[in-house]
Amino acid sequence: MNTRNRILDAAAQLLAEEGWSAASVSEVAKRAGVTRGAVQHHFTDREGLFTVAIEYVLENRVAEFHDQAKGFPAGPGRTLAVVRTVVEQHQGASFAATLQLCVAAHGEPALRPRVAAMEAEMGAKYYWALIELLRLDGSDPKVRTTVQAFLDSARGLGLAGFIGDDSRRRERVTRRWAEMIDELSA
Amino acid sequence: MNTRNRILDAAAQLLAEEGWSAASVSEVAKRAGVTRGAVQHHFTDREGLFTVAIEYVLENRVAEFHDQAKGFPAGPGRTLAVVRTVVEQHQGASFAATLQLCVAAHGEPALRPRVAAMEAEMGAKYYWALIELLRLDGSDPKVRTTVQAFLDSARGLGLAGFIGDDSRRRERVTRRWAEMIDELSA
C-alpha cells in the first residue's frame, strides 16, 4: 500500500473508532507511521483528509462488490447474494466511519457541503454497480425507487447494528428484500 | 410542561444540536431554566438523563403518530398517509437527537446496553403502533419483515436527510413504500 492509501486507511479507522472530535491529523500520522508533514503534503486540511478517506472507503466498497460478485450464481440465489453483500457492506468499521463523518458534517458548516457532494457522487456509483449486478433496468422509475428504498434500508440496518447485535433480524429483512427485488423482474 | 419534561425536552434539543461531547448536565439545566441540582434530583447521572430524554422523544413520536392518524382517510390514501408520517418522524431534530445518542452509545461502554435496551423497547412499541394504523397482521412473517424493512428504510432516509436536502427523492421512496405495503394486503 502506498503512503497516501496508508494515510487514508488510518484516517478511516481512527474516525470509525474514536469519532470526529478525537480524529486529529497527528493521530492519523501516528497510526499510518508517517510524519505530520507527510499527511499535510497529501492533504491540505483535516476536513479534506477525512472526506477523501471516506470517499476511499466507499470506492473500496464498490470495488469489493464487483470482486465478490464474480462468485455469485447466475440464476436463482443471485439476488440474495447481491442483497446480502450490500447489507453486510453497511455494517462494521466502514459503516461506522461513514456515519461518524456524516454526524460531524451535520455540525460543521465547513465540512457539510463537501461531505454531501461526495456522498451524492458515491451513492450514485454504488446504485449503478448494484443495478448492473442485479441485471435490472435502472432507469425504470419503479426499479429506481425500490432499489433506493433498499439502499436506505441497508443504511438503517447499519444504524441498528451499530449499538446492538441485530444479525438475526437483519438476515430475515435481507431475505425479504431479495424477494421484493425479484418481484421487480417477475 | 412540568419540570421533568422541561429538562427532558432541553436535553433532547441540546443533544440534537451539539452532539454528545458538548451535551453537559449544566447546559441542560441552563436551557431548561432550572438549577443543576434540580436536574440531579430527577436523574442520577448524565447517561441516564440523555437515555430517558430520547425515550421521551420516542414516546412522543408514538403519541404524535396516533394523534395525526385521527385525520387519516379510512380507505385509499391511508397507507400513504401512515407511511409519510413515519418517514417525516425520522427527519429533523428528533432524528438528530436519537442518532447522536446512538453514536455516543457506540463509543461509551457505560451507555451502550442502556441505549440498546431502550431502543429495542421503543422500536417494538413503534412497530405495533404502525401495524395497528395500517390494519395489518403484525404476526405474519411477511408483513413483519416488510414493515421492518420499511422502518429501516425510514432510518436510512433520516441519515440521508441529515447532511443534505433529500426531500424530492424521499417523496418518491415514500410513495413506493405505500405501494409495497399495499401489496401485502392485495
Res A1: pLDDT: 81
Whether the predicted pLDDT of A27 surpasses 90 = yes
Whether the predicted pLDDT of B186 surpasses 90 = no
CB A175 within 8 A of CB A140: no
A163 to chain B, closest Cα gap in Å: 6
Res B185: pLDDT: 87
**Beta-carbon separation of B180 and A149 below 8 A:** yes
B127 touches chain A (CB under 8 A): no
Whether the predicted pLDDT of A186 surpasses 80 = no
Whether the predicted pLDDT of A185 surpasses 90 = no
Written as nine digits, the cell of A43 is: 492533504
Task: Please report how many Cα atoms fall inside a 13 Å half-sphere around the Cα of residue B53, on the Cβ side.
Answer: 36
Task: Please report how many Cα atoms fall inside a 13 Å half-sphere around the Cα of residue A35, on the Cβ side.
Answer: 3
d(CA B180, CA A93): 32
Give chain A positions within 8 Å (CB) of B103.
19, 99-100, 103, 162
pLDDT band of residue B12 (cuts 50, 70, 90) is very high
**Beta-carbon separation of B106 and A115 below 8 A:** no
Helix (H, G, I), strand (E, B) or coil at B16: helix
What's the mean per-residue pLDDT of chain A?
Answer: 95
CB A105 within 8 A of CB A112: yes
| Mean pLDDT in residue range B90-94 | 95
Res B1: pLDDT: 80
Which candidate, A177, A54, A47, places its Cα nearest to that of A119?
Answer: A54
Phi-psi region of B111 (alpha: psi -120 to 50; beta: other; left: phi over 0): alpha
Burial of B57 (0-12, 13-18, 19+ CB in 10 A): buried
Res A151: pLDDT: 97
Q: pLDDT by residue (tens digit) across B119-168?
A: 999 999 999 999 999 999 999 999 999 999 999 999 999 999 998 889 99
Give chain B positions within 8 Å (CB) of A116.
163-164
Whether the predicted pLDDT of A95 surpasses 80 = yes
Q: What count of CB pairs under 8 Å joins A to B?
A: 118
- Which residue, chain included where needed, has cell 394523534? B67
DSSP string, A148-184: HHHHHHHHHHHHHHHHS--HHHHHHHHHHHHHHHHGG
Residue B128, amino acid:
W
| Mean pLDDT in residue range B31-60 | 95
d(CA B38, CA A12): 41
Res B107: pLDDT: 87
B36-75 residues touching A, CB cutoff 8 A: none
Q: pLDDT by residue (tens digit) across B21-34?
A: 899 999 999 999 99
Q: A174: how many CB neighbours lie within 10 A of its CB?
A: 22
Nearest CA in chain B to A111: B163
Interface predicted TM-score (ipTM) over 0.85: yes
* B64 backbone dihedrals φ, ψ, rounded to 5°: -60, -40
Res B164: pLDDT: 86
B87-126 residues touching A, CB cutoff 8 A: 96, 99-100, 102-103, 105-107, 112, 115-116, 119-120
Alpha-helical runs (H) found in chain A = 3-18, 25-32, 36-42, 46-69, 78-89, 92-107, 112-134, 141-163, 167-182
Alpha-helical runs (H) found in B19-45 = 25-32, 36-42
Helix (H, G, I), strand (E, B) or coil at A70: coil
Give chain A positions within 8 Å (CB) of B152.
152-157, 160, 173
Q: Where are the domains of chain A?
A: 50-185
| Mean pLDDT in residue range B90-118 | 93
| Mean pLDDT in residue range A91-108 | 93
